[in-house]
Structure 1
Amino acid sequence: MLLAVLLLFTSAPANLPLAARAAAARTPSPLPHDRLHFGLSNEPGDFGWLQASGVPFRYRYTYLSGGVNTNQGWETWNTPTGQYASYYLNDSQSFGAVPVFSYYEICQSNGPNGPGDPKCYQDNSTQDLANLGSAAVMNAYFANFKLLLDKASAFGGTVVIQVEPDLWGFLEQRAAALGKTTANAAPVSVKSSGYNDPAVTGTEDTARGLACSLLRLRDAYAPNALLAIHASPWGSGVDIASDTSPAVNAATEADKVATFLNSACLASNPFVGSTWDLVFNDLDDHDAGWWETGCGGCINAGHTHWWDPTNTAFPNFSRYLAWVAELAAKTSRPQVAWQVPVGNQYFLTMNNTCGHYQDNVAQYFLGHPADLFSAGLIAVLFGSGNGCQTTNTDLRADGVTNNGGAPTTDALGYCTACNTHTSVYADDDGGFLRIFVGQYYALAKPAAPAGVSAVPFSSYARVSWTAPADNGSPITAYRVTPYLGGSSAGTPVTYASAQTNQAFTGLAFGSAYRFSVAAINGVGIGPESALSNLVSIGSRLPVLPAPTSSPPPRPPVAHNPPASPSPRAAAPRALASQPPTTPRRAVATVPTAGHRGPADRLGGWRRGGLLYL
Structure 2
Amino acid sequence: MTDTTAAAAPFDARYLYLAGGVRPAGTCTSSCSSACGNWWGCWQDPAQAPGQYVLWHLNNTASATWQGASRPQIPVITYYEQLHSSGLGEGAAQLGALNDAAQLGRYLDDWRFLLQTIGSKTAILHVEPDLWGYVRQQNSNPSLVPTKVKSANATDCSTQEDSAAGFARCMIAMARKYAPNVKVGLHASPWTYTSSGDATSLGNFMKALGADQGDFIVTDPSDRDAGYYDSLGQNRWWTDTTAAQYLAWSKTLSETVGKPSIMWQIPLGNMSQNNTTNHWKDNRVDYLFANLPQVASAHIVALLFGAGEGQQTTPETDGGNLIARTKANWQAGGTPLCVAP
TM-score, scaled to structure 2:
0.89
Q: Distance in 2 between matches of 1:50 and 1:216?
A: 32
2:188·2:202 contact (CA, 8 Å) conserved in 1?
Answer: yes
Report the counterpart of residue 204 of structure 2 in structure 1: 259
Which amino acid letter does the alignment assign opposite residue 165 of structure 1? P
- Please, which of 317, 320, 326 is the counterpart of residue 243 of structure 2? 317
Q: Distance in 2 between matches of 1:524 and 1:211?
A: 31
Query: Quick check: 1:430 aligned with 2:323?
Result: no
Query: Quick check: 1:358 aligned with 2:281?
Result: yes
Q: Deviations over 1:538-574 (max 9, x none)?
A: xxxxxxxxxxxxxxxxxxxxxxxxxxxxxxxxxxxxx
Which amino acid letter does the alignment assign opposite residue 228 of structure 1? G
Query: Quick check: 1:76 aligned with 2:42?
Result: yes
Name the SS of the counterpart of 1:205 in structure 2: coil
Report the counterpart of residue 425 of structure 1 in structure 2: none
2:92·2:134 contact (CA, 8 Å) conserved in 1?
Answer: no
Q: Distance in 1 between matches of 2:226 and 2:310?
A: 14
Query: Quick check: 1:217 aligned with 2:186?
Result: no
Q: Deviations over 1:591-612 (max 9, x none)?
A: xxxxxxxxxxxxxxxxxxxxxx
Query: Quick check: 1:283 aligned with 2:221?
Result: yes
Task: Report the Cα offset of residue 360 of structure 1.
Answer: 0.4
Alignment of 1:497-536 (within 5 A): 523-524=335-336
Q: Deviations over 1:220-261 (max 9, x none)?
A: 211111111111012xxxx22xx6xxxx32xx1011111111
Which amino acid letter does the alignment assign opposite residue 432 of structure 1? N
Which amino acid letter does the alignment assign opposite residue 50 of structure 1? A
Name the SS of the counterpart of 1:228 in structure 2: strand
Structure 1 pair 127–385 and aligned structure 2 pair: CA distance change class (3 A): farther
Q: Distance in 2 between matches of 1:378 and 1:524?
A: 10
Instruction: Give 1 or 2 for the bigger CA radius of gyration.
Output: 1
- Please, which of 39, 46, 61 is the counterpart of residue 15 of structure 2? 61
Which amino acid letter does the alignment assign opposite residue 83 of structure 2? C
- Please, which of 144, 147, 150 is the counterpart of residue 185 of structure 1? 144
Task: Report the Cα offset of residue 340 of structure 1.
Answer: 0.4
Which structure has greater helix proportion? 2
Output the aligned Cα RMSD.
1.6
Task: Report the Cα offset of residue 69 of structure 1.
Answer: 4.0
Q: Distance in 1 between matches of 2:82 and 2:104?
A: 8
1:336·1:380 contact (CA, 8 Å) conserved in 2?
Answer: yes
Name the SS of the counterpart of 1:108 in structure 2: helix
1:365·1:372 contact (CA, 8 Å) conserved in 2?
Answer: yes
Report the counterpart of residue 411 of structure 1 in structure 2: none
Q: Distance in 2 between matches of 1:386 and 1:266?
A: 27
Q: Distance in 1 between matches of 2:214 and 2:18?
A: 19
Query: Quick check: 1:340 aligned with 2:309?
Result: no
1:229·1:280 contact (CA, 8 Å) conserved in 2?
Answer: yes
Query: Quick check: 1:232 aligned with 2:189?
Result: yes
1:255·1:327 contact (CA, 8 Å) conserved in 2?
Answer: yes
Which amino acid letter does the alignment assign opposite residue 216 of structure 2? L
| Aligned structure 1 segments of 4 or more residues deviating by more than 2 angstroms | none
Q: Distance in 1 between matches of 2:6 and 2:218?
A: 23
- Please, which of 323, 329, 334 is the counterpart of residue 440 of structure 1? 329
1:61·1:101 contact (CA, 8 Å) conserved in 2?
Answer: yes
Task: Report the Cα offset of residue 389 of structure 1.
Answer: 0.6
Report the counterpart of residue 88 of structure 1 in structure 2: 57
Q: Distance in 2 between matches of 1:331 and 1:82?
A: 33
Name the SS of the counterpart of 1:68 in structure 2: coil
Report the counterpart of residue 171 of structure 1 in structure 2: 135
Q: Distance in 1 between matches of 2:285 and 2:41?
A: 33
2:216·2:261 contact (CA, 8 Å) conserved in 1?
Answer: yes
Which amino acid letter does the alignment assign opposite residue 323 of structure 2? R
Task: Report the Cα offset of residue 438 of structure 1.
Answer: 1.0
Alignment of 1:27-38 (within 5 A): none
Which amino acid letter does the alignment assign opposite residue 357 of structure 1? W
2:223·2:308 contact (CA, 8 Å) conserved in 1?
Answer: yes
Task: Report the Cα offset of residue 266 of structure 1.
Answer: 2.7
Query: Quick check: 1:102 aligned with 2:102?
Result: no
1:69·1:137 contact (CA, 8 Å) conserved in 2?
Answer: no
Task: Report the Cα offset of residue 127 of structure 1.
Answer: 4.2
Q: Deviations over 1:485-520 (max 9, x none)?
A: xxxxxxxxxxxxxxxxxxxxxxxxxxxxxxxxxxxx
Q: Deviations over 1:326-355 (max 9, x none)?
A: 01111111111000000001x3xx110111
Alignment of 1:155-170 (within 5 A): 156-170=120-134
Name the SS of the counterpart of 2:96 in structure 1: helix
Which amino acid letter does the alignment assign opposite residue 238 of structure 2? W
Which amino acid letter does the alignment assign opposite residue 441 of structure 1? W
Name the SS of the counterpart of 2:239 in structure 1: coil
TM-score, scaled to structure 1:
0.50
Task: Report the Cα offset of residue 182 of structure 1.
Answer: 2.2
Which amino acid letter does the alignment assign opposite residue 64 of structure 1? L
Q: Distance in 2 between matches of 1:325 and 1:49?
A: 31
Q: Distance in 2 between matches of 1:171 and 1:265?
A: 13
Query: Quick check: 1:207 aligned with 2:171?
Result: no
Structure 2 residue runs of 5 or longer lacking an equivalent are 25-35, 65-71
Name the SS of the counterpart of 1:107 in structure 2: helix
- Count matched residues: 315
Q: Distance in 1 between matches of 2:93 and 2:76?
A: 25
1:233·1:283 contact (CA, 8 Å) conserved in 2?
Answer: yes
Name the SS of the counterpart of 1:351 in structure 2: coil
Name the SS of the counterpart of 2:121 in structure 1: coil
- Please, which of 90, 97, 115 is the counterpart of residue 124 of structure 1? 90
1:339·1:381 contact (CA, 8 Å) conserved in 2?
Answer: yes
1:107·1:127 contact (CA, 8 Å) conserved in 2?
Answer: no
Report the counterpart of residue 478 of structure 1 in structure 2: none
Query: Quick check: 1:306 aligned with 2:237?
Result: yes
Name the SS of the counterpart of 2:82 in structure 1: coil
Report the counterpart of residue 533 of structure 1 in structure 2: none
Q: Distance in 1 between matches of 2:211 and 2:264?
A: 19
Report the counterpart of residue 31 of structure 2 in structure 1: none
Report the counterpart of residue 387 of structure 1 in structure 2: 310
1:182·1:259 contact (CA, 8 Å) conserved in 2?
Answer: no
Q: Distance in 1 between matches of 2:255 and 2:245?
A: 15
Which amino acid letter does the alignment assign opposite residue 328 of structure 1? S
